[in-house]
Amino acid sequence: MTLADAPPNVADLISNVADLISDRQRAEYEANGYLCLPEFVGPEWLDELNAVTAEFVEASRSETSSGTVFDLEPTHTAEAPRLRRLNYPVDRHPTYARFTFEGPPAQLASALLGGPVRYHHSKLNFKWAGGGAEVKWHQDIQFWPHTDFTPLTIGVYLSDVDADMAPMGVLPGSHLGPLYDLYGADGSWAGALNDADVAGLDLDRVVYLDGSAGSVTVHNCCMIHGSLPNNSPRPRPLLLQTYSALDSYPVNQIGLNSILDSHGGRICGGEASQMLTIGGRRMHGAPDFARKGLPTIFSSQQQDDGYS
């Protein structure tokens, strides 16, 4: 289904999940840990996103090295930009924010996770033409652990991506297997499985998720995935956004969880419930005290702290 004209209210669509994905697709996601949905995002969104993205590529010409906004290849120049990534697109332009919080990815995440979702982070991986770097085999959850394994990442190809353009590769079912150590032998963070662990994978089973512009990839946070270098003459822009279930929370001070964008934790399609499950025990946590200032147990119990 094309969602270009869908209403921008996730809540409206949660009651109509069947319009977005079928029960069979949801079951496939649960069993295999991934989905690929051809041309899920319609031309209106794509045109808008590509126009904004072109502005950022243009702006990158005045940059000489990677920074908060851009991750640039070492050979990037003003004449021949070579971008690896636009960091945190939702903080960079309202179009990305609207797309991520109200558009097809938020709607799809809600459909897959069965209700409102908690946004975590976003990025736009360019994988530039003529050698854009490989992404080695890894799982995401070690980069940003949560209180459960519901987080998923939705990728949107902003242009046609064929098999020669290094599409995302996934190892079906690996989301139900071991969680690998992504540190190197010297103890430093490598962000990838080591060679011995990779040698133990059945890489013949990898599925590469190519698709025309607007096609969408979904992968669970425990999925083993990666992509080859892009040796084609065309860049491969993949806009990625991560969401978890409403009652799933990032564990602070581990990896990316400490440096989320200004919208990290935002709820799409509902309100925060403060429900969570840890170690199999469910509870209703206290409100977010950052919102109205620090209460004490006295002011809470006397109901004069502004939270009642």
Ligand X SMILES: O=C(O)CCC(=O)C(=O)O
Cβ proximity to ligand X: between 163 and 278 the closer is 163
Paired sense of beta strands 275-278 and 281-284, if any: antiparallel
Q: Is 156 in the site for ligand X (CB under 6 A)?
A: no
If binding is defined by CB under 6 A, does position 221 make contact with ligand X? Answer: no
The partner residues of 161 in beta bridges, in order of sequence, read: 211
Q: Counting contacts by CB under 6 A, is residue 87 touching ligand X?
A: no
Q: Taking the complex as a whole, how short is the minimal distance between the CB of residue 143 and ligand X, in angstroms?
A: 7
Judge contact between 101 and 190, C-beta under 8 A: no
CA–CA separation, 15 and 162 (whole Å): 35
Question: Could you tell me the smallest distance in angstroms from the CB atom of residue 236 to ligand X?
Answer: 8
Amino acid letter, residue 268: C
Among 135, 170, 213, 245, binds ligand X (CB under 6 A): 135
Closest approach, Cβ 226 to ligand X, in A, equals 6
Distance CA 55, CA 36 (A): 28
Q: Smallest gap, in angstroms, from Cβ of residue 135 to ligand X?
A: 4
168 binds ligand X (CB under 6 A): yes
Q: Phi-psi region for residue 66, left (φ > 0), alpha (ψ -120 to 50) or beta?
A: beta
Q: Shortest Cβ distance from residue 158 to ligand X (Å)?
A: 12
Sketch the per residue contact string, 9 through 48, with ligand X: x for CB under 6 A, - otherwise: ----------------------------------------
| Cβ atoms 78, 62 nearer than 8 A | yes
C-alpha 251/C-alpha 198 separation (Å) is: 27
Question: What residues make contact with ligand X under the rule CB under 6 A?
Answer: 125, 127, 135, 140, 168, 225, 227, 238
